[in-house]
Amino acid sequence: MRRIFVALAACVALGASAGACGRTSLLALSDAGAGGGVGVGGGGIGGAGGFEACLSPADCDDGDECTSDDCEGGRCEHAPRDDDGDGLRPIVCGGIDCNDLNPAVFPGMPERCTDAADNDCNGVADCFDPACATAETCGCTPRPGGEDCQNGVDDDCDTIVDCFDADCAGTAACGCSASETGSCGDGFDDDCDGAFDCDDVDCRADPQCACSSRVEVCDNRADDDCDLLVDCGDPDCRGFFPCACEPPGSPERCDDGLDNDCDGRVDCADPQCISAPSCEVCVPEVCDDGLDNNCDERIDCADSACIFAPSCEPTPEQCNNRLDDDHDTLVDCRDPDCASNPFCVLAQANCLSPKLIPGTGTYTGDTTGHVSETRGACGGDAGEAVFYFVLTEPSRVHLDSRGSSFDSVLYVRTGVCNSGREIGCDDDSGGESWSSLLEFSILYPGTYFVFLDGYTIDPASGANEGRFTLNVEIVPNPSEVCDDDIDNDGDRYVDCADPGCATFGPCRNCARGAAPGPEFGTAACTDGIDNDCDGKLDCADEDCSASDFYVTECCDGLDENGNGIPDDFNCRCASDADCDGGQICYTHTSSTCGIPCSAFFGSVCPFVASGSHCNAATNQCEF
């Protein structure tokens, strides 16, 4: 289909009418045949040796999320995806880069202690990484309002430094202006009144703010809110009539103003309508007239056809003007360039700028206008707010969204924000107003990302978005409950196996008269005693048959499956002392014994814990 646009543009350039050109382009495509194509190059049109012609990167999209597609010298080039240009592919595409939006993040990168990024991909960032233990910037105690705005240090441990921190608003050190006027597009609260740029009343008369209060009308072929996107091409129209569609839909009609086939494109913006008589008014885009000439619902510099136009030269991303200023297809807070911009830090709309949860408390904000970039297993098709917290000791964690104004979803990922393992997702268990609730009886030390998301985008009422409330309770080192079959205190010992339960009535002398203990290691798993008093003996106890993958093995020191490795992650452990024969305890994932992951040929990690990867620094699989 992209070749039609190439032929159409060439035809119009020779002076023919748009309608005639459309018919000529289709005939060219038809003549190429099923096995040919409109090629350009040594083989001629459709001949051997031709290549995939293009005018812009949009013409080269091959549908593979693991390739980057570009148009160079009129031909399409496809390369392995590497969004941040650090030479490493992302985890989702089989690589090892745990954050492919930040070139300073990849395994082996030294940890930087002040950039809010997990540079070495070991699951913890900045001062929470052991590599930063001696850094001068890591001597702070997380607390609200911590007192120095000009020392270049994140004193209150919220990952925001000096005048970028909202705590410094209105201070002499940060040089507040008398008014926001004259700086209404710089992404800063220049006059320290809590309102940014066009949201500040000082900017009402500024021309670039003229559209900020207008809402996109989704069926009038006009760019009402001045973001260079028209009708259904504007994310503001997602889920609203006429942009809403019930899958699987029906073949697109090209003159009814509806998205019949549910592809998000209406009438002439849908490639299916390229040759429709009603779309003959569509012509190549003019890049400076404020009109959607080619009917693709993108205007001027927002249209990929204008990428090389002199009037569309890239400029630095402004972060809050709803435009792709630097032409990298990422707008405002979705652009990594804006990760530390105060406007985006306050919005916390994605994994580039998550908000730190320093401890128990209530956190509020607004998801209105946020674009959905992720969803949980139980829902989350609207925009989200993203938080993170770092545990340095085992903790009980409670999260709920009670008090939020919309149908919300909560989900939690561990290790990596955008692609980490999801450990919990809830919709509607909060008990009031479609709120959500997640309870974790124990979470072990590490980094956790919390998403407060909108459940869906309703065709009638629009996106579930608005004011939200996140209630958090984090209780470090909770006490063990001795009869609930849960490791409440995070030491890996459950109920009677926990030293704290030694005097609990049912645990006294329950192991054939001996004091109970964990059923960890080959000695305890082959002694014919129910050491932990859970009613299961030796290999019948899940602590001695701990692997969900190597199910023919047992923690008995033998190699039942014949692969040369005894036990194969079937011995539960709390530390290396519980493991035999040079094996180590995988305390960061499965809490089982195995040989160091760096000693395997290939990656053992999918068989230890799905989604984990071998960390050469610890020799363990980690998230």
pLDDT at 130 over 80: no
Considering the domain architecture, whether residues 442 and 358 belong to the same structural domain is answered as yes
CB neighbours of residue 255 within 10 Å? 12
CB 388 within 8 A of CB 356: yes
CA distances from 433 to 193, 249, 459, 465 (A): 33, 32, 20, 13
pLDDT band at residue 381 under the 50/70/90 scheme: very high
Considering the domain architecture, whether residues 427 and 538 belong to the same structural domain is answered as no
Considering the domain architecture, whether residues 464 and 529 belong to the same structural domain is answered as no
Which of 146-160, 183-197, 574-588 shows the lowest per-residue confidence on average (mean pLDDT)? 146-160
Considering the domain architecture, whether residues 364 and 461 belong to the same structural domain is answered as yes
pLDDT band at residue 142 under the 50/70/90 scheme: very low
Q: Tell me, what CATH number does 428's domain have?
A: 2.60.120.380
For residue 339, being part of any structural domain is answered with: no
> Considering only CA atoms, which of 373, 223, 371 is closest in space to residue 298?
223
pLDDT band at residue 154 under the 50/70/90 scheme: low
The pair phi, psi for residue 147, each rounded to 5°, is -90, 0
Spatial distance between the Cα atoms of 430 and 106, rounded to a whole number of angstroms: 38
Identify the burial level of 24 via C-beta atoms within 10 angstroms of its C-beta, where 0-12 means exposed, 13-18 middle and 19 or more buried: middle
Considering the domain architecture, whether residues 452 and 390 belong to the same structural domain is answered as yes
CA angle 70, 72, 76 (to 5 degrees): 55
Name the helix (H) or strand (E) containing 423.
strand 421-427
Share of the chain above pLDDT 70, in %: 85
pLDDT at 219: 84
CA distances from 143 to 236, 356, 359, 550 (A): 37, 11, 9, 46
Mean pLDDT score across all residues of the chain? 81
For 68-126, write each residue's pLDDT tens digit.
888 988 899 888 888 888 888 888 788 888 888 788 888 888 888 867 678 888 877 77
> Considering only CA atoms, which of 209, 156, 151, 155 is closest in space to residue 180?
209
For 239-275, write each residue's pLDDT tens digit.
777 887 777 888 888 988 888 888 878 888 888 898 8
Which of 45-59, 305-319, 454-468, 497-511 shows the lowest per-residue confidence on average (mean pLDDT)? 45-59
The mean per-residue pLDDT over the stretch 118-138 comes to 75
Considering the domain architecture, whether residues 472 and 521 belong to the same structural domain is answered as no
CB 365 within 8 A of CB 356: no
Can you give the pTM of this predicted structure? 0.57
Here the tokens at position 59 are: 């013409």
Spatial distance between the Cα atoms of 306 and 611, rounded to a whole number of angstroms: 41
pLDDT at 46: 37
The mean per-residue pLDDT over the stretch 558-581 comes to 91
Considering the domain architecture, whether residues 471 and 353 belong to the same structural domain is answered as yes
Spatial distance between the Cα atoms of 473 and 359, rounded to a whole number of angstroms: 7
The listed range with the strongest mean pLDDT (66-70, 457-461, 603-607) is 66-70
Considering the domain architecture, whether residues 443 and 539 belong to the same structural domain is answered as no
For residue 594, being part of any structural domain is answered with: yes
pLDDT at 21: 44
Helix (H, G, I), strand (E, B) or coil at 12: helix
Last residue of a domain, one of 425, 443, 476: 476
pLDDT band at residue 473 under the 50/70/90 scheme: very high
Helix (H, G, I), strand (E, B) or coil at 93: helix
SS3 of 26-53: the string is HHHHHHHCCCCCCCECCCCCCCCCCECE
For residue 32, being part of any structural domain is answered with: yes
Share of the chain above pLDDT 90, in %: 25
CB 557 within 8 A of CB 582: no
pLDDT at 146: 55
In DSSP terms, which residues pair with 446 in a beta bridge? 391
pLDDT at 448: 93
Considering the domain architecture, whether residues 429 and 528 belong to the same structural domain is answered as no
What does DSSP assign to residue 244?
-
Considering the domain architecture, whether residues 352 and 472 belong to the same structural domain is answered as yes
The mean per-residue pLDDT over the stretch 216-229 comes to 84
For 521-550, write each residue's pLDDT tens digit.
999 999 999 999 888 999 999 999 999 899
Rg of the chain, C-alpha, whole Å: 29
pLDDT at 610: 79
pLDDT at 31: 37
Angle between helices 2-13 and 18-32 (to 10 degrees): 130
The mean per-residue pLDDT over the stretch 22-49 comes to 37
pLDDT band at residue 445 under the 50/70/90 scheme: confident
pLDDT at 441 over 80: yes
For residue 599, being part of any structural domain is answered with: yes
Last residue of a domain, one of 21, 54, 80: 80
For residue 296, being part of any structural domain is answered with: no
Q: What is the DSSP string of 461-508?
A: TEE--SEEEEEEEEEESPPPPTTSSS-TTSSS--GGGSGGGTTSGGGT
Phi-psi region of 611 (alpha: psi -120 to 50; beta: other; left: phi over 0): left
Bridging pattern class, strands 75-80 and 67-72: antiparallel
Name the helix (H) or strand (E) containing 23.
helix 18-32
Here the tokens at position 424 are: 């919990």
pLDDT at 144: 43
The pair phi, psi for residue 143, each rounded to 5°, is -160, 150
Considering the domain architecture, whether residues 470 and 363 belong to the same structural domain is answered as yes
Q: Which residue has the tokens 């003996």?
A: 537
pLDDT at 111: 85
Domains contained in the chain, number: 3
Q: What is the DSSP string of 134-177?
A: T-GGG-----TT-S-SSSSS-TTSSS--GGGSGGGTT-GGGT--
The mean per-residue pLDDT over the stretch 374-387 comes to 94
SS3 of 534-601: the string is CCCCHHHCCCCCCCCCCCCCCCCCCCCCCCCCCCCCCCECCCHHHCCCCCEECCCCCCEEECCHHHCC
Considering the domain architecture, whether residues 452 and 377 belong to the same structural domain is answered as yes
Spatial distance between the Cα atoms of 348 and 222, rounded to a whole number of angstroms: 30
CA distances from 459 to 229, 237, 274, 423 (A): 20, 10, 27, 30
Last residue of a domain, one of 476, 506, 537: 476
The pair phi, psi for residue 22, each rounded to 5°, is -60, -45
340 or 230: which leads in pLDDT: 230
Which of 55-69, 527-541, 565-579 shows the lowest per-residue confidence on average (mean pLDDT)? 55-69
For residue 70, being part of any structural domain is answered with: yes
For residue 328, being part of any structural domain is answered with: no
The listed range with the strongest mean pLDDT (43-57, 180-194, 218-232) is 218-232
For residue 353, being part of any structural domain is answered with: yes
Q: Which domain holds residue 9?
A: 2-80
